[in-house]
Amino acid sequence: MKDLSVRLFGSGLNVTTDNFFTSHNLAQFLLTQKTYTTWYSQKKGKEVPRELVPSKRAEYESVFAFTSDAFMVSYLPKKNKTGLLLSTMHEHPEVDTKEAKKPFMILDYNATKRAVDAFDQQVG
């Protein structure tokens, strides 16, 4: 991923990825290169805090976590289905009250994921 995004370094742009390139270390590296990242995953890997793994949560509920350089949300759009997002671009736990109480991080990801879907098709 570092090689793929080298032309964006220093641009202040956001790189949108999915579970092929989900890593807090990668997000931190890109941030040092003045490049933001937003990634989505349904996997509950070792980098996901235990508090973000759903346990009897209500539909449309979001749980947020953050560090000094990254923001993470666990969103439950349907029972037993969780979406995990990490962003170095977002700074606030804002939720859209109109669209299924989705966090703005998800709405931004959905608006920019077209290239991610095309990449997935090419890999497949």
Q: Which residue ranges make up each domain of the chain? A: 6-113
The more confidently predicted of residues 122 and 25 is 25
Pick from 37, 21, 8: nearest CA to 123: 21
Residues with Cβ within 8 Å of residue 124, at least 6 apart in sequence = none
> How far apart (Å, rounded) are the C-alpha atoms in residues 121 and 95?
30
pLDDT one-digit tens code per residue, 48-75: 777 887 777 888 889 999 888 899 999 9
pLDDT at residue 115 in the model:
60
Looking at the chain, how many residues does it have? Answer: 124
Q: 94 φ, ψ to 5°?
A: -90, 140
Tokens of 4: 């793929």
Residue 87: pLDDT over 70: yes
Q: What percent of the chain lies above the pLDDT cut of 90? A: 6
Using DSSP's 3-state secondary structure scheme, residue 57 falls into coil
> How far apart (Å, rounded) are the C-alpha atoms in residues 120 and 115?
9
Q: What is the pTM of this model?
A: 0.76
pLDDT at residue 64 in the model:
92
Using DSSP's 3-state secondary structure scheme, residue 77 falls into strand
